[in-house]
């Protein structure tokens, strides 16, 4: 009986030892993710002052406007439009000078002055009263990744009233970047 108890005890100890052994090594996995958000920014360089001769109907020379657009986009994006529009130019002494320079007097050339059009002539960039300066079609992955593009156009004032009062007139050019 002592022998039977010893065998039984050995079987119980060995059975418990088998159950108590840990799996070595223990393995598990978990998911990690990295998400980079899209980015799109646009800026415009300062346009030098337009000079207007006394009695002149347009500015004496065209001025360059450099528009810088930067993006990093997802693969689903197909194009980036760059647009510009202008506001009316109002006189510094608006209380005593009722004259304004209409936004329609701001002209744009995208071809170094060969042809001119009213800056606020159309629609684009999901807004109205703008000119589409450029459209970038994004056909390859490299077109969407960390791109910086600079578009330079020329601006001038045209169709000004000959009796425009001498003053400093101020308005704005707004630039837009629109991604699709």
pLDDT in tens, 56-82: 889 999 999 999 999 999 999 999 999
- Residue 16: the pLDDT is 52
Q: How far is CA 78 from the centre of its chain?
A: 14
- Residue 130: the pLDDT is 96
Q: Is the pLDDT of residue 41 over 70?
A: yes
Lookup: tokens for 132? 């589409």
Listing DSSP states for 36-52 in one string gives ---EEEEEEPPPPPPPB
| Domains (range + CATH), the chain | 39-179 (2.60.40)
- Computed over every residue of the chain, the mean pLDDT equals 90
Closest CA to 155 of 74, 76, 86: 86
Q: What are phi and psi of 53, to 5 degrees?
A: -70, 150
Closest CA to 157 of 116, 99, 110: 116
Residue with tokens 């009213």: 118
Q: Is the pLDDT of residue 37 over 60?
A: yes
Q: Is the pLDDT of residue 1 over 90?
A: no
- Contact between 56 and 47 under an 8 Å Cβ cutoff? The reply is no
């Amino acid at each position: 009986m002592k022998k039977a108890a010893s065998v039984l005890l050995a079987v119980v100890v060995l059975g418990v030892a088998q159950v108590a052994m840990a799996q070595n090594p223990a393995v598990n996995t978990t998911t990690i993710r990295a998400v980079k958000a899209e980015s799109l920014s646009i800026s415009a360089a300062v346009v030098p002052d337009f000079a207007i001769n006394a009695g002149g109907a347009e500015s004496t020379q065209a001025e360059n406007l450099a528009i810088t657009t930067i993006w990093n986009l997802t693969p689903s994006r197909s194009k980036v439009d760059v647009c510009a529009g202008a506001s009316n130019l109002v006189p510094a002494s608006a209380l005593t000078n009722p004259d304004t320079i209409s936004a329609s007097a701001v002209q744009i050339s995208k071809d170094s002055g060969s042809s001119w059009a009213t800056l606020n002539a159309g629609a684009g960039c999901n807004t109205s009263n703008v000119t589409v300066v450029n459209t970038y079609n994004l056909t390859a992955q490299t077109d969407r990744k960390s791109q910086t593009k600079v578009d330079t156009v020329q601006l001038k004032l045209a169709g000004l009233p000959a009796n425009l009062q001498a003053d400093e007139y101020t308005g704005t050019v707004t630039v837009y970047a629109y991604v699709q």
